[in-house]
Every structure is written in structure tokens, then in C-alpha cells.
Amino acid sequence: MLTPVHNAARFEKTAGATAPSLVDEPALDKGGTVIKISTAQLWVNDQEEALAFYTEKLGFEVRADVTLPELGNFRWLTVGPAGQPDIAIVLMAIPGPPVMDAETAEQVRALMAKGFTGTVFLTTDDCNAAYNELRARGLEFVEAPEERPYGIDSSFRDPSGNNIRLMEVRELAEV
């Protein structure tokens, strides 16, 4: 049975603390199994356009680019930030039938255009410098860097409309 490791109404910032998680209680006694995020997915209208954006403008690396003829030329295309080889974002083309009917595909496209199919949060040590560097590469921001209680935050969209936030996170004052 999975049970919460910590029973707290709020997260508290303490040295060496980790966020509450669900783990198998017996595994705790043996050191436990680590579960990590490896891949997340973004819908894209055009994989080539998305690939160019994420590699040329954002500076990500290609993790995988495989076309499977036996699956109707399905293309598994992933990118990720340099220095984080265990993290990837799948740039997933919106499929047609039988995977997704035309009406659903259009709904996904409409939500993407509005920036409402999810958000990727990126962090940097210097949001203003990253903002200037990315703008020099031709990236257009929706929101310039702005001071917030948690640090400096900005926002841009990829060519398909996906919302990307770029943040410089600061330590929060202890309560």
C-alpha cells in the first residue's frame, strides 16, 4: 500500500528536506525504489518546425529521432536541455484516426493555439541574461522577466502555441 511519507499541510523549506512523496512502506526499510520523471510530452503541429525551435532557438539537444515505418511512419522525436541527459520532451505530432478522431485533433490544436495544453517550466540561474540570449536568437517572449515572490519569471510560446515559463527561482523566506 502506498502511504504519504510526510503528513504536512504545507511544504516547508528546510535544509536537505525533500517534498512529500508516495512510496511503498516496506521499500523504505531497504533504501526504497527511486522513481524519476524522464520524459514529458508536448503536442506539436509540425515536428520539423518544433525541432528547429527547440534546438536552434532554445538550445536543446536531440535525444531521439526515430521513424517507425511499421507504425505508419510514426516519428518518436525527443529533445532535452544540455547537461540533463536523463530528461526529455517528446515533440508529438497530433495523430489522426484511429488514435485520434478529427474533432478531438481540432480541439487539441485550438487549445494549443491558446497556450492551454500544459506548461513546461524551465529554470535558469539568471533569467534576465537567458531572456536576452534567447531574444538574440529570435525567440519572442509573451512576458518579459518580472520580479515575483519566488524569483524572476518570464514566458514564451513555441511555434505550436505551447506555453513555456522561464524562471530564476529564489529561496523563499522561511515562515
Instruction: Give pLDDT tens digits for 25-60.
Output: 444 456 788 899 999 999 999 999 999 999 999 999
Residues 6+ apart with CB under 8 A from 54: 60, 79, 89, 91, 158
For cell 533504501, the residue is 31
Predicted local distance difference test score (pLDDT) of residue 146: 98
Over residues 136-155, the mean pLDDT reads 96
Over residues 82-98, the mean pLDDT reads 93
Tally Cβ neighbours within 10 Å of residue 50: 23
Answering whether pTM is above 0.85, one says no
